[in-house]
Chain A
Amino acid sequence: MIADIGLVALTIAFLFSVYATFASAYGGWHNQLTWVESARNAVLLAFPFLTVSVIVVVYSLYVLDFSLAYVYDVSSQAMSPFLRVTALWGGQQGSILFWAWLMAGFVATVLLRKWERDRELMPYFIATAMLTTAFFVGVALFITNPFMRLWHIEGATELTQSLFQPANSMPYFPEDGGGLNPLLRHFGMIGHPPTTYLGFTGFVIPFSFAIAALITGQSRGDEWIRTTRRWTLVAWIFLSIGLILGGRWAYDVLGWGGFWGWDPVENAMLMPWLTGTAFLHSVMMTEKRGMMKKWNMILIILTYSLALFGTFITRTGVISSVHAFAKSALGPAFFAFIGLTFIGSVTILYLRWDTLRSEHTLESFISRESAFVLQNMLFLAITFAVFWGTIFPLISELVTGVKITVGPPYFQRVTGPLFFVLLLLMGIAPLFAWRKQAMRALGKVIWIPFLASLGIAIIWGYIHRMHPASIIGLWLVTVTLSLILAEFWKGIQARRTTLSENPFTALFNLIGRNHRRYGGYIIHISVLLIALGFIGDANFKLETQGTVSSGESLTIGDYQLRFDRLRGYPGSDGREIVEAVTTLSQNGETIRALNPRRDYFIVQEQPVTVPGVYSTPGKDVYVLLVGWDDGGQSATFKIYVNSLINWVWIGGLMMIIGTIIAAWNNPYQREMTYVLKPGGLSSHPLLQEG
């Protein structure tokens, strides 16, 4: 009964979305405002109806209405109420509906906030954004409907899923459901899908404004960039959080001692992040210099298409097996829609190519402009390498019939050097002046941080002389970090000498004066911290595996792990736990007890490995219980020593803080743009933003 309400609401939301798409396009084409306003109202109605539909799914998951196939799949009596609610994004049907709902929410918010400001762009903005929303609502309605019921047809051996009662059938009410995949019951996987979806769907806003700007010919001005700047930042930070939560989940749950495995699903998310990051930087060129308008368009179209592509390969599993493609109508539908989006946008871009012309002047190859072009190229090259490596198994199978694997060695080798150049650019490019950077002036700015970093790198190199490959990475992080810190130092010094502020007030005011610039620097530092995690993972990782009897120890580096005993007990959420009691010591001194576990989920018949981790800022000792003999007298452990890994999570938190600072509304800066005159003091690097 309740489920019927959800189904009806979903159907109405679909009709409204389709109507909004066509009404706004028609209104825009024929210049009839009433149609556009009508489309706006349709959007503002579609969202509440979708909300009803989502609430019904959540409610059904919560009260365990097992007559619904989706609830039967992902919810179960043993799950806590909280987990039942998060099961909304624990499976295909719920995820697609959730995605559609978020996207409709974004579009509705834009229409409420920006309606008066960007009137000219609105018709085509609504048409583009609602076309995508309508597609997702349509998929939720026609292909992956969460309100499908279970039926038992007479004589059939399997249950049938259908919205309406098939002939000769009885409704089927299972006693208990399958429950959420045990691997997904972790804070990382509970937070990862919503943040990722927010990131993916958030990019629909800049994308739709870009398309609207192209269609209306408004792209000559850069109004759409100003309008969407913060939307882009929001989408970007959610995508970043999603990536980091996904990494944390992999580290805690998948039991292979790492956080990033270059799996197709991970790559699918990384690609839009890469082009999105390039876009975020590239728009600054348009804002400050009116340049690179074509780049922006290419980058936002790529970002959005890659976000769709990411959903496509995650949701259909097409990369691991070509055969997954045709299993449901989802694969072909998505494939067609991505094709339509990409080819459609590129066609519009081609037709409007001439309107994107901009004045380019440059005196020197070394300038801020060149740095921006280079960074765009690097981001695109990395994206291509990741894309190519991800889809190559598919191409190989289609062309030669041979299945191959493209594993981490490929990605590390191909993207590693490019990432290194990007890191260096990140430190040095903000110091470049527009148009021309005199080498002598640059030398004066960078020689102290450069020498300092060289000194630190030599010390680092000596400490890690067993791992010569790590030295380049560590030096790059050091030099970039010192260059950024020097920027803070210069700003603080300037305020101290002229305004006699104390260092803390100076730092606070410095950031307060220019949110974007210093927020950006903080994000850059956080990227360096995350890079540290990757460098540690690539160079300093230790691992060992061995079987020991009770009382014996395994040794790794200067750590010893003593196995004491094994114990078993029932856990929450329908699991049985076998836990090893072990003691970790370093050079003979006891540090603490570690309890690596194996949780066995009875209903799902699935084991989950829970590592015992001793975590410090420098390194993690990560212990997995691999197996044991029948009496529990001996057990096998796999131990990793993961250096610098915690800086990934610290960097992630810092990235959020930096983004909040960068996105903060700064009335002071808005005023300043009126006062500054070209060629005056404003051209001084200290006053330049970004």
Chain B
Amino acid sequence: MRNIKRKLFLILLTIIASFYAVGVAYAQDGQPGYPTDDDVNRVAKKLYCPVCPNTPLDVCETKACEDWRAQIRDQLSEGWTEQQIMDYFVAQYGERVLAEPQRKGFTSLVWFLPLTVVLVGTGVVYEILKSWRKQKKVTVDARPIPEVSREMLEKIEREIRELD
């Protein structure tokens, strides 16, 4: 039993590793260095995995996402810009691959409504405070706060001590 598990495990390791071998091979092609893993991740970070819920593409561990990252690497080495790659992904998989929602069409509502709420909220706060001021009665003790003088402190402390 143990042995079978071990064997399965080793097979799995090889499979995982083989995906990686592909990635390594890309890095060695073309001009030295570019695109590095960091270049790929910089683009992938702005995209979301088209299949898994709520997972950014740069951290997603599925096979599909490995392939997508490999694709970004290809595109970068062919000289695509970041914007071109993102446009390509949107065209292929829809708006949902963008981490940051667009500011056009129906989607712009996601940005504008909270902004409106903050503006309206500020107005509401102002109106509330204004109405509270109107109701003011002269009977309230409205003296400005006296300075914290030493005598005052002593008086307070004395009173507190008397309470004990």
Which A residues have a C-beta under 8 Å from some C-beta of B? 255-257, 261, 263-264, 317, 320-321, 359-365, 369-370, 373-374, 377, 380-381, 384-385, 388-389, 392-393, 396, 399-400, 402-410, 414, 418, 433, 435-438, 441, 444, 490, 494-495, 497-499, 513, 543-547, 568, 576, 578, 600, 602, 607, 609, 626-630, 634, 636, 638, 668, 671-672, 675, 678-679, 681, 683-687
Contacts and interface: CB of A to CB of B under 8 A. Distances in A.
Contacts of B61: 255, 607, 609
Interface of B: 5-6, 8-9, 12-14, 16-21, 23-24, 27, 36-38, 41, 48, 53-54, 56, 59, 61, 94-102, 105-107, 109-111, 113-115, 117-118, 121-122, 124-125, 128-129, 131-133, 135-137, 140-142, 144-148, 150, 152-157, 159-161, 163
Contact of A436 (B24, B113, B137, B142): B142
A236 to B, nearest CB: 23
A602 B155 CA distance: 73
- 6 smallest beta-carbon distances between A and B, as pairs: A320-B53, A407-B99, A545-B37, A438-B144, A409-B100, A498-B157
B159 A681 contact: yes
Nearest to A498: B157
Contact of B107 (A396, A435, A578): A396
B156 A441 contact: no
A629 B41 contact: no
A407 B100 contact: yes
Main secondary structure of the interface of B (DSSP, over half): helix
A362 B19 CA distance: 69
Contacts of A264: 54
Given A438-B145, A607-B61, A410 B110 contact: yes
Given A630-B14, A630-B17, A684-B146, A408 B129 contact: no
B144 A441 contact: yes
A388 B110 contact: yes
Given A320-B53, A388-B110, A497-B153, A405 B163 contact: no
Contacts of B6: 576
B19 A627 contact: yes
B142 A360 contact: no
A568 B114 CA distance: 51
Contacts, number: 209
A545 B41 contact: yes
B9 A600 contact: yes
B37 A361 contact: no
Contact of A381 (B21, B117, B136): B117
A405 B59 contact: no
B152 to A, nearest CB: 7
Given A407-B100, A498-B153, A636-B20, A388 B37 contact: no
A403 B144 contact: no
A404 B107 contact: yes
Contacts of A626: 20
Given A405-B98, A444-B147, A681-B155, A629 B20 contact: yes
Given A388-B113, A497-B150, A546-B37, A377 B20 contact: no
Contacts of B109: 392
Contacts of A403: 94-96
Contact of A363 (B24, B101, B142): B142
A256 B56 contact: yes
A436 B144 contact: yes
A612 B157 CA distance: 55
A389 B107 CA distance: 11
Contact of B38 (A359, A389, A544, A685): A544
A683 B144 CA distance: 11
Given A362-B132, A381-B121, A543-B41, 14 more contacts: A373-B128, A374-B125, A377-B122, A384-B117, A385-B117, A392-B110, A404-B102, A407-B48, A407-B100, A407-B101, A414-B114, A436-B142, A495-B157, A672-B163
Nearest to B24: A547
A409 B115 CA distance: 15
A684 B20 contact: no
A321 B99 contact: no
A687 B135 CA distance: 27
Contact of A377 (B37, B53, B125, B132): B125
B130 to A, nearest CB: 8
Contacts of A408: 99
6 contacts: A403-B94, A499-B157, A513-B160, A568-B13, A576-B9, A684-B156
Contact of B21 (A359, A513, A607, A629): A629
A547 B27 contact: yes
Contacts of A494: 148, 153, 156-157
A256 B12 CA distance: 23
A278 to B, nearest CB: 13
Contacts of A362: 129, 132-133, 136
Residue among B53, B97, B154 having the largest count of chain A Cβ atoms under 10 Å: B53
B132 A360 contact: yes
B19 to A, nearest CB: 7
Nearest to B41: A545
A578 B36 contact: no
Contacts of B54: 261, 263-264, 320, 405
Contact of B13 (A261, A499, A578, A683): A578
A365 B128 CA distance: 10
Contacts of A437: 145
Contacts of B144: 436, 438, 441
Contact of A410 (B96, B100, B142): B100
Nearest to A400: B106
Nearest to A546: B37
Indicate the member of A321, A400, A547, A675 with the most B CB atoms within 10 Å. A547
A361 B145 contact: no
Contacts of A684: 145-146, 152, 156
A543 to B, nearest CB: 7
A327 B79 CA distance: 45
Nearest to B150: A497
Nearest to A399: B106
B163 A671 contact: yes
A224 B99 CA distance: 45
Given A363-B136, A671-B163, A405 B24 contact: no
B110 A406 contact: yes
Contact of A384 (B16, B114, B140): B114
Contacts of A681: 155-156, 159
B23 A547 contact: yes
